[in-house]
């Protein structure tokens, strides 16, 4: 059964980032769903504070922009991983890989615990459901109504969240200015339209 936005769990927003690394290669080759993996080095304490499972939030790539994302943290029991992994999936179609680029994530809600599946088809179905939940929620997340009724953030947490978003967006704007005036203007318009929806008093 498809999980709705109302079934997700609001959490205190948290941030993680680093260069994109190569994973097991299953996202693209086996699942047809590429991920932008991050190393867990230096994040062991942070990861113990959060349950394994599927989250969603915002992702900023140093060379291009800010994107919606859904992320899996855990051992991927279907594939029986030995090591815990961080596997964000940016909800955008990219023409090429971006290994080594700086990726910064702001995680805002929890969709579900990590789970095993009886078949690859069942796993894929749930992955697509997770994407739909994330897309739907993030389309409304920065509106005042959603922040108030869904996330239940206190004013301090809301301020921290929006400050993080502003920080990663400014980082992207600077990088785009260096890369190309055209790309910078495109990114700037997107960022300003997103910030117009923010409520930070």
pLDDT digits (tens, 9 = 90+) for 100-146: 998 888 888 899 999 999 999 999 999 999 999 999 888 876 554 44
Residue 70 reports pLDDT greater than 90: yes
Q: Is the dihedral of CA 151, 153, 159, 163 positive or negative?
A: negative
Residue 129 tokens, joined: 């459901």
Known catalytic residue at 102: no
The 3-state DSSP class for residue 60 equals: strand
Give, in order, the Cα–Cα distances in Å from 24 to each of 27, 28, 29, 97.
Answer: 8, 10, 9, 14
Instruction: Check 22, 87, 95, 102 and give the catalytic one.
Output: 87
pLDDT digits (tens, 9 = 90+) for 10-55: 777 788 888 999 876 665 555 778 889 999 998 888 888 888 999 9
| pLDDT score of 80 | 86
Q: Where does 7-129+136-195 sit in CATH, by number?
A: 2.40.30.30
Predicted TM-score of the model (pTM): 0.72
């Amino acid at each position: 059964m498809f999980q709705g936005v109302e079934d997700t769990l609001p959490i205190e927003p948290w941030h993680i980032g680093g260069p994109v690394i190569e994973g097991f290669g299953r996202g693209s080759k086996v699942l047809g769903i590429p991920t932008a993996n991050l190393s867990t080095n230096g994040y062991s304490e942070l990861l113990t504070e959060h349950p394994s499972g599927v989250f969603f939030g915002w992702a900023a790539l140093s060379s291009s922009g800010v994107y919606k994302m859904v992320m899996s943290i855990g051992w991927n029991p279907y594939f029986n991983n030995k090591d815990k992994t961080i596997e964000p999936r940016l909800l955008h179609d990219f023409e090429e890989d971006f290994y080594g680029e700086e990726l910064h994530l702001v995680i805002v809600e929890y969709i579900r615990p990590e789970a095993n599946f009886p078949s690859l088809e069942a796993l894929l179905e749930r992955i697509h459901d997770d994407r739909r939940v994330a897309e739907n929620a993030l389309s409304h997340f920065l509106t005042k109504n959603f922040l108030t009724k869904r996330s239940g953030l206190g004013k301090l947490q809301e301020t921290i969240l929006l400050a993080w978003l502003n920080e990663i967006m400014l980082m992207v704007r600077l990088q785009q200015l260096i890369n190309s005036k055209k790309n910078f203007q495109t990114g700037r318009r997107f960022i300003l339209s997103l910030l117009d929806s923010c409520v930070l008093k």
